Structure 1
């Protein structure tokens, strides 16, 4: 079957990425040098996409795309016998954020018609072409500037953009995604190791992803210093000029407005009930009862991507350090893309 060949190609792609990432620059062959140049070109055009962050994203996908993981994922779905054209409007906030949609469409036996984000326009075409080379049957895909002649649409954008997309594609089957962010809930007895893992959930990709934590709930007597102490592993983030610009701007605004905040010279903590926080700022609030937290989650369900917390709190959460490690069956906005593609 065509899909079986494409799955084999995907597994080979995973091995190819792992082999590249395991090498040191001095042992690069010509192909490896070209990949490194591609990553550097991407960083030059979009400084948020550092080579390290792009390699982190590649490593996550390489680890995820094993034969066992793909088999366990796909066995829950019926693969379409008729290929349809699925329009994809991809986000570009973090590297490869749209790759899951692309893979889902291809392994559903449909044709992805892809409008790339201008911020992430190199890695996905590169991986698709490599995947094609590893597959016995060629994968059909298109890169376009304007989406036309579609059977369905999956689009990701800001809340403002989503309104236009919902209107524009009102006559198509669609998934239109909006802004989301993530929260963490501390019980109070977290180890330093757990708080250091939480730092990854906050700072990976500079905090630009919907799975990055921007709001923390802490018990009444929790010491703020413990957070700062365990965030120090990311202190070099302030050396990135775009992040530093955000930090300087937000700090200046708080000082001018005489607002209270805690600062450790690379991130600020602000006692604020808002779910979303500016880049370089983490909102926090103290809770007396977990019921208050549950009520907040329920009221903001449409805006929360994931909850990071200990499982004993019973908040349908993921473990510390796992926010940027979603599985193949973890879907943006909790809308099952594969089930959607079965209906097309």
Structure 2
């Protein structure tokens, strides 16, 4: 079988976010030859885009920043030395006659694998743009759809547009470092987590509900002010700002994966309890999947789904061998690695 040659990996994990990284670690525990393919030039998925955010819902950890969680996940994933390919977007999948796969990336490189685990989060996220005349003139300089660090906004006048978790998170993060922070939202109520909204109301952030950005004003590429339209009062306000952070959500796009013949509903890949897709040898885990009882958006969920997929992959590759439960506390190779360190 071609999948048994040295050039083939037992499992190739497409996506280097939290789910993919933990799955890679668990695949190492199961003694599977593993490769991670990540479209970005770094690992961590969405975490590096809000590296200063503190996460409180990772099991066993009271609080951790997204940056530190990324570092820990990457360190853990490297335990069994998986191969890692950066800046490669898989554009084509070929199933060979023997059941193995060739994955062709945008760089032209071909990756050979016996099974595939899709851990691509929401796929490629296309940000919903701010629909204001000439907004594109300031994109990337003073109008942002996300940023790696809040430090670029230190001492500046910042307007956040949106009413979900991302908008509230940004406003909270900026409240202590920006000269001014305003939050404008089209609706009366915020859609963000109630606790974060309550915390936001106790800051100096200027909240403008039932309002929207109508115009952006500036010259020579420098943003100077915006016109805010108040939808309930039928009035307008002029506000001096240096930067705008837009948090209007994003549309998921599975790209070429939609052509793989997988069962997809509402832009999610349908899987069973073992994270098996409708296509033999292809598995999926994390935010990209859907099944009865799926809890979306929780990193801890991916930490369960990844190992479930890996266990099934182990059984798929070794159908005559019983796949027994495995734990780190009695894993000889893992204990040996840590005893050496």
How high is the TM-score relative to the length of structure 2? 0.30
Structure with greater Cα Rg? 2
Q: Larger % of strand: which?
A: 2
More helix by share: 1
